[in-house]
Structure 1
């Protein structure tokens, strides 16, 4: 059977740490988890066919990636389906950029071509779902990975095609998690059973994001002063303005009581007066917030998915209030996940 879009990609469930010995004995591989957009790429099955790029949710967006389409037509054989991650390199800053990726993903047709030189796209392949028109979903992951490696070596593929790093060495995977996540664009690792089939839509893999403890300033809450539900957090920029950096997940009852004891209502002139805060990153839904006096320092646990400006894309986990610190001790906006002072 020949695969045709939309094909629902196989997914991963989140975990806090590398799976235990029982899971490891069954045989797993570790891949670097990149901070990009999941995508499937289909090469033409026959003469006159088109190269297709499919998002995780099934939309076809090849018009937004003319550089990838041209490279696929020139370098990839027909009847191929790759699973991987789309990333974008910002040539002005010399780094991977999620913001540039978002811009390219939202730009179509003629305007898309104008962005190629400044923000070239790369496809980081980690799975092979079809080759020579024959689908491979029932093959074990280890076999699909070997076929993918052979495909790269046989065709001497180079940019924009990149092979996702993989290892079966647990020590190496832990090194990636601790060290490589300091590199822009790498946010953790994926754990994949070597004998697993490719199951569309099934969360059969495990993802582990690097998380760090850092400090932020409480600028607003949802709920009430006596029963806060979640915190909206900020940091001062270099001009001294309080800039929103994210929100927490809902507070546990004990944490909510702790925070409530120290909250005070905002006075006139709060820096966020009139501001609206998204319920989730990229969402149009807004939170129903109450502004509070921005003098409390909250220690939070955060992953490495951060916009270049300093905004966390995923909710933060409240750890505790740092009553021993002032807002001047908090890292500046854009400083990233600077570790807590202890």
Structure 2
């Protein structure tokens, strides 16, 4: 093995969805960031952003690399699984659980993955990381066209047209999280957060069913929505509240008395932590408006932190959209 994959180049959040001058835009997919290396001696490595070896969990990607990629080639992209007409992040999680042997092969048949490739880092022994993005992109497009690369490899779209980039933001129902912005003249800088990432966020309503901290001074809100059977379903938790928000909520939250839809339930901190929260149930009557992104887990909950926008004491619980909408 004469070369190694570089650390992945990373993104930093940006508040504006407009394509900056001198940049290209790419869709940001709801998947796992992944780098793929195929060495001339036949070895293949598929690894996560954190460096976890995922090769055995995705045997179809390994086989395609051996069959289609030139030797000593490295790619950067996003692992995704399609289910119906949307990307199913939860299937990727299940693929990693069933990562070895017969379980991995069965999962590959049930939920086949694609690698949406957005960069080429090494090609037939040549290090391309010092090349500007626009040159690497031209080389990547030629690799797909001339080799050619086919499924499970997919070429990520790229555009310098602001109108096209804006149009991509309408794809959120299919699993697009937002846009990545990449400067045309920039080389691949391992570990640097110099790509921009705009995440689509929307405001919507939910019901406060519990809090962390005392109801008179809540630290975070645990949110729910009713499903079509009338059951209050947990849908996510806010980030830590600002002091002004805490004061505005204090008089509107009543500790639960008697039976509550979440009586006996425990809640974990989430966002990668399994720590159990010390939560206090409150009467599920207060509606709040929250800002969320489009990513959800397999249970239909918001997968990323939720931000409180404002209380909506003027709205009854029946005005809140149903669970999973």
Both structures adopt the same fold (TM-score exceeding 0.5): yes
Aligned partner of 1:340 in structure 2 is none
Instruction: Give CA-to-partner distance per residue, 1:149-194, whole Å, 9 cap, x none.
Output: 11001112211110111110112212212x1223x22111001111
Q: How does 1:1-342 map to 2 (within 5 A)?
A: 2-5=2-5, 7-18=6-17, 24-25=20-21, 27-46=22-41, 49-90=42-83, 93-110=84-101, 111-177=103-169, 179-182=170-173, 184-335=174-325
Alignment TM-score, normalising by the size of structure 1: 0.91
**Stretches of structure 1 lacking an aligned partner (at least 5 in a row):** 336-342
* Count of aligned residue pairs for this structure pair: 324
* 8 Å Cα contact 2:18/2:166 also seen in 1: no
Runs of 4+ in 1 over 4 A off after TM superposition: none
Secondary structure of the residue aligned to 1:149 is: helix
Distance in 1, Cα, partners of 2:314 & 2:142: 57
8 Å contact from structure 1 (residues 223, 290) kept in 2: yes
Question: Does the aligned pair in 2 maintain the 1:96–1:185 contact within 8 Å?
Answer: yes
**Which SS does the other structure have where 2:140 is aligned?**
helix
Q: Secondary structure at the match of 1:279?
A: strand
By how many angstroms is 1:19 displaced?
6.0
For the residues of structure 2 that align with 1:270 and 1:329, how far apart are their CA atoms? 20
TM-score by length of 2: 0.95
Gaps of 5+ in 2: none
Deviation at 1:283, TM superposition (A): 2.1
Where 1:201 maps in the other structure, the secondary structure is: coil
Cα distance in 2 for residues equivalent to 1:53 and 1:142 = 25
**Aligned-residue CA RMSD in angstroms?**
1.6
Distance in structure 2 (CA, Å) of the matches to 1:330 and 1:257: 23
Q: Indicate if the aligned counterparts of 1:38 and 1:56 stay in contact, CA closer than 8 A.
A: yes
